Structure 1
Amino acid sequence: MDTDTARERLLDLQRDLQSTIDDLTARLESGSTPDAAEGGQDTGDLGAHEQQAAENEGLLDGARRRLDSVEDALKRLDAGTYGISIVSGEPIPEERLEVYPDAATLVTEKL
């Protein structure tokens, strides 16, 4: 993948992830867990809201980690090392970058 295409894909992914992070953060900050004083809510309702908040926190954590990965990939692009494994220094296959544009390693490598 040429660098212009890679940059465009990474920037699109960065925007999408930031939008997701903003949305999830707003949901969590809005107090999606209702106050029992509002009435009409039982422990089942509260449990469901707590579960939803926990799921949103997990999604938020995942989106933040992926955003970090995308930003690292943009730095590698600027440094001229995009598409090269940070573990082995071997080229990352084009097919992997097509599917996972922020890939930092080969499929067989672990950080």
Structure 2
Amino acid sequence: MDTQVARERLLELRRELQETIEGVTSRMENGVTADLPTGGHDFGDEGAHEQQAAEQEGLLDGARRRLQSVEDALKRIEDGTYGVSVVSGKPIPDERLEARPDAVTLADEEL
């Protein structure tokens, strides 16, 4: 994949992830829960709120990890190592980079 195209895709992905992180963080800080009933509290309501809070935390954690992966990919572009597996040193196929521009390994490799 052309590094300029990769850079543009990564920058767009970074922007989207930052927006997601900001939105989730704002909702969590404000105690906003989507579409949960208000009014009387029972164990079911509390459980639903706790479950949604855990889901929001999971979403936030995943977005932060992916953002770090995108930042690392942008650094690899600058270093001239973008598109090369960190495991084997082999080129990562363009198809994989198009699907996941922050990929660091071949599809069959594990870190």
Query: Normalized against structure 1, the TM-score is what?
Result: 0.91
Q: Which amino acid aligns with 1:23?
A: G
The Cα of 1:20 is off from its aligned counterpart by 0.5
Alignment partner of 1:9 is 2:20: no
1:28-39 matched pairs, under 5 angstroms: 28-32=28-32
After superposition, give the CA deviation of every residue in 1:19-67 in whole Å (9 maximum; x if it has no partner): 101111111111237xxxx852222111111110000001111111100
C-alpha separation in 2, matches of 1:39 and 1:14: 39
SS of residue matched to 2:95: helix
Query: Normalized against structure 2, the TM-score is what?
Result: 0.91
C-alpha separation in 1, matches of 2:24 and 2:77: 29
The Cα of 1:108 is off from its aligned counterpart by 1.1
Give the aligned partner of residue 61 of structure 2.
61
Runs of 4+ in 1 over 6 A off after TM superposition: none
Aligned length: 107
Q: Which amino acid aligns with 2:103?
A: A
Give the aligned partner of residue 92 of structure 1.
92
CA RMSD, Structure 1 to Structure 2 (Å): 1.4
C-alpha separation in 1, matches of 2:26 and 2:49: 15
C-alpha separation in 2, matches of 1:48 and 1:2: 46
Structure 1 vs Structure 2: percent identity of aligned residues?
Answer: 70
C-alpha separation in 1, matches of 2:100 and 2:85: 13
